[in-house]
Amino acid sequence: MSISKRTKRVGSFANYALIAIFILVTSMVFGAGQEEAQGMQEDTAAIEFPTRPVQYVVGWSAGGGSDIVSRVLCAEAEKFLGQPITVVNHSGGSGARSYTEIANAPADGYVIGNTTGTISTHVFMGNLDFGHEAFVPVMTINSDPGAIWVKTDAPWETLQDLIDDLKANPESITIASSNPGSITRFGTLLLEKAAGVKFKIASQAGGESAGPGLVAGGHVDACQAAPVTAKSLYEAGEIRPLGVMDTERVAAFPEIPTYKEQGYDITIYNMRQIIAPKDTPDEVVDILYQAFKKAANSDKYQNFMKDSGSTPLDWDPEKSREFLIEQDKQFKQYITDAGLLVE
């Protein structure tokens, strides 16, 4: 065979090889592109949330602190979420009913709700066999101090007047307070312990919401309720406060003295979180958090918090989880001291 023919054949083989390599590389690039596009589509599909209304479960009656705060916040959050947020009241057991409902809901972000300090108390008192570990926190939304309220024409001008009357006449004063395990009930128990007195307690299953009205109507002598819950009747002149369980006077109500000013070093807050079922995807939790964070920083919510004597918060899931762990320690000690711990 001549050199020229061999050269032509080698050249032909080289051309075929180049074509084959080109086809292979093109297929690989095209295939990789398809896989990348498909992956992006899958990622997008994975975070396509929400596509329908979200249910927000409040475990206390309408008109209470959790209900009032949640409704104002949700009305703002749905503007950023792009879907309605339906607030429903499923009261019972100082939040125990709603916690059970949320814990058993599908972990898809469409059933969420709020918690108070009762997420820590119930498990230590044997009311529930789970605590905050059964949920993923979305955001901590606010903090409310406890306070004690009496009818405007009540005979006690100060907290000490009330205490002195109880010492002279044990269990003669009826106080409306939420069911055992609630934060308002612990406020009552802490005052009893610090002052060495005993109230006659009218337990309220739906939370603190009924208390101010019961006081105004003369059905009970006093009640434990946060300023946000008692505000309307206080401003109407039907009830008045004897003290607030905060480290300093509440800015919205500077006329209300703290317990500490009156000789009782008691501080207790109701910290509220938005929670979702434990295995809710991180992407969904983040979408919810971003919407509620914007809502918490809206002028409407900030002004509402300021006027109500509440502290607005927008703690992210991680900070909220850290707080809940610390809250467990605090309330376990309260419960132990009160002799209510169930091992």
190-201 confidence digits (pLDDT tens): 899 999 999 999
The arithmetic mean of pLDDT across residues 256-271, rounded, is: 93
pLDDT of residue 32: 43
Confidence category of residue 46, pLDDT binned at 50, 70, 90: low
Does residue 18 register a pLDDT over 50? no
Does residue 299 register a pLDDT over 50? yes
pLDDT of residue 206: 64
pLDDT of residue 29: 37
The top-level CATH class assigned to 148-262 is alpha beta
Confidence category of residue 289, pLDDT binned at 50, 70, 90: very high
pLDDT of residue 186: 84
pLDDT of residue 25: 36
Equal fold, 54-145+270-337 vs 148-262: yes
Q: CB under 8 Å to 274, separation ≥6 — which residues?
A: 56, 112, 113, 114, 137, 138, 139, 141, 288, 292
Average pLDDT for the chain = 86
Provide, rounded to the nearest whole percent, the portion of the chain with pLDDT above 90: 67
The arithmetic mean of pLDDT across residues 266-280, rounded, is: 94
Q: Domain ranges in the chain?
A: 54-145+270-337, 148-262
| 145 φ, ψ (degrees, to nearest 5) | -80, 155
Per-residue 3-state assignment (H helix, E strand, C coil) for the chain: CCHHHHHHHHHHHHHHHHHHHHHHHHHHHHHHHHHHHHHHHHHHHHCCCCCCCEEEEECCCCCCHHHHHHHHHHHHHHHHHCCCEEEEECCCCCCHHHHHHHHCCCCCCCEEEEECCHHHHHHHCCCCCCCHHHEEEEEEEEEEECEEEEECCCCCCCHHHHHHHHHHCCCCCEEEEECCCCHHHHHHHHHHHHHCCCCEEEEECCCHHHHHHHHHCCCCCEEECCHHHHHHHHHCCCEEEEEECCCCCCCCCCCCCECHHHCCCCCCEEEEEEEEECCCCHHHHHHHHHHHHHHHCCHHHHHHHHHHCCEEEEECHHHHHHHHHHHHHHHHHHHHHCCCCCC
Q: How confident is the model over 59-82, as pLDDT tens digits?
A: 988 888 899 999 999 999 999 999
- Report which of residues 14 and 117 the model is more confident about: 117
pLDDT of residue 329: 94
Confidence category of residue 9, pLDDT binned at 50, 70, 90: very low
pLDDT of residue 3: 35
Q: CB under 8 Å to 314, separation ≥6 — which residues?
A: 139, 140, 141, 292, 293, 296, 297
54-145+270-337 topology per CATH:
D-Maltodextrin-Binding Protein; domain 2 (3.40.190)
CA distance 260 to 265: 4
